[in-house]
Structure 1
Amino acid sequence: MNAQVNSSNSAFDWFKWIVVVALVAGTVYGNFYFAEQSLIVRVVVVLVALIVALGVAATTEKGRSVNRLRRDAWVEVRKVVWPTRQETVQTTMVVIGFVLVVALILWGVDTLLGLGVKAIVER
């Protein structure tokens, strides 16, 4: 019994995805076809069509799983302990200092290698 329900939902999900693709394709074509219409009218129609397409996509199994992922991600973001302003400034200064030191080292190595190659080529 459960396999039949999943098979039916899967087939209906495919139909929903076809509707989503048709809505998006129709919106793109309609926007091109009605190029002489007012821009604001076309923007409103495109936004409405895309919202409807997203609504249809959200009713599929993949859409529900994406919505669950979005909610779980939001819960995790609320758990993050953000650094203070002082910690952020200090970490930024350490990174900038490290980048400058590495840049100077690379510049020195590049200069030495350039002088070495120049000495070999001039012989």
Structure 2
Amino acid sequence: MSDQQQPGKSSVIDTLKLILSISLLVAGIAGFYYFSAYPTLYRVLGILVIGGVSVGIVLTTAIGRLTASYLKESRQEVRKVIWPTRQETMQSTLVVVALVFVVGLILWLLDMVLFWGVGLLTGQRV
């Protein structure tokens, strides 16, 4: 047998780490409300510290490492994107607005013609 984990399978230790992480978050949220007499700044800082520790624990698991790898690769792909300039964005936006207006006008005219035709067929308009 191999000592390495297969991808997609989590060990008991990983499961315990995830449970510990969730428990820390729940305890942090409960503590935030339990210590409501203290200034909000201290309570928020406490939540942030507990959240950071919780994320740190999750990152030591297989799921955490896969997620971190995915985020890193996503960031690299976003850097490869050629973003449009401000002028290109404005021109594209104006074309979309103009086309929405034209399609709206066409649909309004079609609706008026159909309404007139139904009125003639039912005898409500002469």
Tell me how many residue pairs correspond in the alignment.
121
CA distance in 2, matches of 1:115, 1:104: 16
Identity %: 39
1:46 aligns with 2:71: no
Q: Show the counterpart of 2:68.
A: 67
Q: Show the counterpart of 2:5.
A: 6
TM-score normalized by the length of structure 1 = 0.85
Could you list the runs of 5+ residues in structure 2 that have no partner in the other structure?
Answer: none
Q: Show the counterpart of 1:83.
A: 84
Aligned-partner residue type, residue 101 of structure 2: L
Q: What RMSD in Å do the two structures reach over aligned CA positions? A: 2.1
1:5 to 1:102, Cα distance in 2 relative to 1, 3 A: same
TM-score normalized by the length of structure 2 = 0.83
Could you list the runs of 5+ residues in structure 1 that have no partner in the other structure?
Answer: none
RCO greater where, 1 or 2, for CA within 8 Å and sep 6 or more? 1
Q: Which moved further from structure 2: 46-55 or 79-88?
A: 79-88
CA distance in 1, matches of 2:35, 2:22: 20
Q: Show the counterpart of 2:31.
A: 30
1:5 to 1:121, Cα distance in 2 relative to 1, 3 A: farther
